[in-house]
Chain A
Amino acid sequence: MKTFVSKNKDNLITYGIVVVAYAVMEILIKAGLISSLMQGLLVPLCAYVILAVSLNLTVGILGELSLGHAGFMCVGAFTSAFFSKITMNVITVTWIRFTLAIVIGFIAAGLIGFLIGMPVLRLKGDYLAIVTLAFGEIIKNVINVLYIGKDSKGLHFSMKDAVALNLEPEGDVIINGAQGITGTPKNSTFTIGVILILITLFIVLNLIKSRDGRAIMSIRDNVIAAESVGINITKYKLLAFALSAALAGVAGVLYSHNLSSLMATPKNFGYNMSIMILVFVVLGGIGNIRGSIISAVILTLLPELLRGLSNYRMLIYAIVLIAMMLFNWAPKAQAFRDRLLDKLMFWKKKKVTVTEKEGGASDER
């Protein structure tokens, strides 16, 4: 019978994988083995990993299907880019401004997640998925008609066009409707991305293994039983959903500060993106945080790695999707994986005992 592995050790392994992957990547970059195209992908990659981990909080831990995750990312991206743009000349120390931008993206997306979550979380399953999909699209479309400008009198808002802002001649249009925000400082780096991944992991993993996390998972496993032992269903659903949204907002901050021009297009903040994040989560294993990270990395890098195959690229991508799905979820494959893991563990144990013996011998000498 399979028993629980100690969760603490498990968490350390997850952090370790991220740190080691980061170190390897840095070495490869220093050695000049990574193409500039690939290097350009690293920051979005970090954003996707954060998105996958945060969506897993809703889908895997809370057990509710959400298809609006890109919408929360969009909120984080635009609020933080807006903040960075207007304070570019006020706060000149980059790291302070960027830290504040991250906090603002986190809070703004969390707040929107909270507001949307209140009515929406009464729904379940497919209904919830469709409504979150709709809200995600609404967020993107509202931002597409939003005009905000700044002049000496302060900020001007409009939902019509840039002219309706009535700016003074020297005024500056910051959010220009469908053209979005241009000239956001490019503060995101791979290192910052990895740090944010680690912080996200820290928050999510610690939350899961706590009183709140247990309450959230009890709702996933059996709502009626959770209510019968006095778990406040609404509170914990909202906590998980809003935190998940807030972390998506952080991914948005990372994403927006990597682009000189930020636009809310269907490609980056539409439902395609939401579904892609869901694919990361499902393939990595629902509720499996480490799996989310790995599948996000593989599925982001794969299309680039396969670029040489031109026309067959998407075909192979699709085959890999199916293969990963089978590997992760088919009962036969699971049994095979367990056997493999047992063998590895055995090998490791043997190695440890051997080294211990050697250590003992050297002590005697």
Chain B
Amino acid sequence: MKDNNHVLEVNNLSISFGGLRAVDDFNVTIDKGELYGLIGPNGAGKTTAFNLLTGVYKPDEGIIKLDGKDITGKSTIEINKAGIARTFQNIRLFKDLSVLDNVKVGLHNLYEYSTIASVFRLPKYYRVEKEMDEKAYSLLKVFDLDSSAKLKASQLPYGKQRKLEIARALATNPKLLLLDEPAAGMNPNETKELMDTISFIRKEFDMTILLIEHDMKLVSGICERLTVLNFGRILAEGNTAEVLNNPEVITAYLGE
């Protein structure tokens, strides 16, 4: 069924809102283990592309294949179960739940026991909860959050909230991780640390990552390949160094 290494294959993806073609003829192919960047000026349609990939919007045209399987038009929940997890541009944590519980919600579909088992505290409840705790702690440890596990998510400092969101996404055991501007609002130190973390999870979990980013330093530092969007259309794609030296890209970013 699958004769190549493509984790994500997107063909001719398009969507319109009213008269506006927010994403037009978007194509991308990402191989296993790759760290791929999606950049572009504000309003270029980057987040819309993410929302199409995760089923928040249904595309007007086009096909999305994950690991060779067609996932076009499926619901967000089905797409997550199929193996795409994401973070959000404006952090969306479960703010009144503990840090640990945020990750355990991410583990929800991987560990099961019935409502009856939870209400009557059957042995299965204790066994599975223990497994979930162990798994959640091991994930938190990767992000150096294990010491804050019992805090409310909203009590974490900003940089750690970003990390927690990534940890929660990883908890769903995805094949492809979508990061929407992970460095937004971070200072240079935090950005540097985040770059290290992203490189680390890529190696540690053998993860394929698609990243939206504004911060050119971050993008050029860790992405091998890029796609540049402008007004919903692909402006350039290819190796990071080539793309960033493309005169059209420079024009789009800096103006003429």
Contact = CB atoms under 8 A, between A and B. Distances in A.
A17 interface: no
Interface string A59-84: 00000000000000000000000000
Contact of A211 (B77, B86, B113): B113
A contact patch SS? helix
B66 interface: no
B168 A222 contact: no
A351 interface: no
Given A1-B151, A229-B168, A224 B105 contact: no
Contact of B77 (A2, A3, A220, A232): A232
B85 A229 contact: yes
A256 interface: no
B105 A228 contact: no
B181 interface: no
Contact of B85 (A226, A228, A239): A228
Interface stretch (B1-9, B34-42, B114-122, B221-229): B114-122
A225 B92 contact: yes
A227 interface: yes
Interface string B176-200: 0000000000000000000000000
B104 A214 contact: yes
Interface residues of B, number: 42
B95 interface: yes
Contacts, number: 102
B94 A225 contact: yes
B155 A218 contact: no
Contact of A221 (B54, B93, B118, B155): B93
A233 B54 CA distance: 16
B105 A229 contact: yes
A4 B93 contact: no
Contact of A214 (B108, B125, B128): B108
B252 to A, nearest CB: 29
Interface in A206-231: 206-207, 210-215, 217-218, 220-222, 224-231
A312 B190 CA distance: 61
A170 to B, nearest CB: 45
B164 to A, nearest CB: 11
A7 to B, nearest CB: 9
Nearest to B95: A221
A220 B115 CA distance: 19
A8 B115 CA distance: 18
Contacts of A239: 115
A305 B80 CA distance: 56
Given A221-B97, A222-B94, A230 B150 contact: no
Of A202, A203, A229, A231, which is in contact with the most chain B CB atoms at under 10 Å from its CB? A229
B85 A225 contact: no
Given A203-B119, A207-B118, A221-B93, A4 B80 contact: no
B96 interface: yes
B92 A4 contact: no
Contact of A210 (B86, B96, B106, B118): B118
A225 B88 contact: yes
B111 interface: yes
Contact of B171 (A1, A206, A229): A229
B193 to A, nearest CB: 22
Contacts of B95: 221-222
B237 interface: no
B119 A229 contact: no
Contacts of A214: 97, 101, 104-105, 108
Interface of A: 1-4, 202-203, 206-207, 210-215, 217-218, 220-222, 224-233, 239, 287
Given A211-B129, A217-B97, 14 more contacts: A1-B155, A210-B118, A210-B125, A215-B105, A217-B96, A221-B94, A221-B96, A224-B92, A225-B88, A225-B92, A227-B76, A229-B168, A231-B105, A287-B96
